[in-house]
């Protein structure tokens, strides 16, 4: 459906020939862009409230570039690319106005929007080694229109560091707790906060951490109420969910 079709549909609604609900349904059925190697979903934002995000791992730099261009040409104002390599960033950046965040391996085209969520999303990490996952979560939440508060290196081996940020924890609308090793941070924060806590186990730790499995199992068995868990190193999923929670009031 192009602009002409959309104008015709809107005029039909205006003239009473098509109901608002039928028009919304037609817009939701907007076809994707056929690239051969990919089918970018141009109206995912209309259906789900958030536009399509590009998962960069496993894609060539040229594929990421072409998918990004298709989304922009389809009317998407900004594009988020996760798990993006520096090599891919160089190729995409040569063709499109890319802002690359190397620590979190996140690429952003179109800039970060102004926050319009209900409150703040706190991103907390157990240690500095968790920062790549934390930045993926933080930048994802920011791209979804959330004000993000970063509390880094506040793990349980020095609990006073976390307790010094009681105001930020208690005023948050959602908290992402990111930790490797034994993953205890999520339970501690869950016992302090009155909002949903999204736990992210990371693959940080010594041999018996089993690449994040130990932290994952600890978080799944948390005795704190209101703690949910995403997959190992899944900062994107946590940031996305936290952003949705922070916008529930607008619905």
Question: What distance in Å separates the CA atoms of residue 214 and residue 156, rounded to the nearest whole number?
Answer: 16
Residues 128 and 62 occupy one common structural domain: no
Residues 71 and 183 occupy one common structural domain: no
Instruction: Say what the alpha-carbon torsion angle 138, 141, 146, 150 is, to the nearest 10 degrees.
Output: -20
- For residue 133, tell me if it sits in a domain: yes
* Residue 63, pLDDT above cutoff 80: yes
| pLDDT at residue number 7 | 76
- Residue 132 sits in a domain whose CATH number is 3.40.50.1970
Residue 133's domain spans which residues? 120-250
- For residue 20, tell me if it sits in a domain: no
Question: Which of 90, 109, 128 marks a domain boundary?
Answer: 109
The mean pLDDT of 87-107, rounded to a whole number, is 97
User: pLDDT (tens digit, 9 = 90+) per residue, 201-245?
Assistant: 999 999 999 999 999 999 999 999 999 999 999 999 999 999 999
% of the chain surpassing 90 pLDDT: 72
Q: Which 3 state secondary structure label does DSSP give 193?
A: coil
Question: What distance in Å separates the CA atoms of residue 209 and residue 206, rounded to the nearest whole number?
Answer: 6
Q: Identify the band that residue 8 occupies on the pLDDT scale cut at 50, 70 and 90.
A: confident
Written as one string, the DSSP assignment of 26-45 is HHHTPPPP--SS----TTHH
Residues 154 and 233 occupy one common structural domain: yes
% of the chain surpassing 70 pLDDT: 94
The mean pLDDT of 79-94, rounded to a whole number, is 97
Residues 169 and 96 occupy one common structural domain: no
Euclidean distance between the first and the last CA atom of the chain, given in angstroms as a whole number: 27
| pLDDT at residue number 4 | 54
Neighbours of 233 (CB within 10 A): 21
Rounded to the nearest integer, the mean pLDDT of the chain is 91
């Amino acid at each position: 459906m192009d602009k002409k079709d959309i104008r015709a549909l809107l005029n039909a609604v205006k003239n009473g020939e098509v109901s608002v609900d039928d028009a919304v349904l037609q817009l939701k059925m907007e076809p994707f862009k056929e690239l051969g190697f990919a089918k970018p979903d141009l109206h995912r934002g209309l259906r789900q409230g958030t536009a399509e995000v590009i998962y960069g791992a496993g894609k060539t730099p040229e594929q990421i570039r072409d998918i990004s261009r298709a989304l922009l040409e389809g009317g998407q104002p900004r594009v988020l690319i996760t798990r993006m390599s520096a090599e891919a960033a160089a190729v995409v950046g040569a063709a499109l106005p890319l802002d690359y965040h190397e620590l979190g391996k996140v690429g952003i085209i179109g800039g970060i929007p102004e926050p319009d969520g209900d409150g703040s999303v706190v991103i907390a990490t157990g240690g500095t080694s968790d920062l790549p996952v934390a930045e993926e979560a933080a930048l994802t939440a920011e791209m979804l229109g959330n004000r993000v508060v970063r509390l880094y290196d506040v793990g349980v081996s020095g609990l006073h560091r976390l307790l010094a940020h009681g105001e930020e924890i208690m005023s948050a609308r959602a908290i992402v707790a990111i930790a490797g090793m034994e993953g205890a941070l999520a339970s501690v924060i869950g016992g302090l906060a009155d909002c949903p806590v999204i736990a992210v186990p990371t693959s940080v730790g010594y041999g018996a951490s089993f690449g994040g499995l130990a932290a994952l199992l600890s978080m799944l068995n948390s005795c704190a109420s209101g703690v949910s868990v995403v997959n190992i190193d899944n900062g994107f999923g946590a940031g996305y969910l936290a952003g949705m929670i922070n916008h529930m009031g607008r619905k």
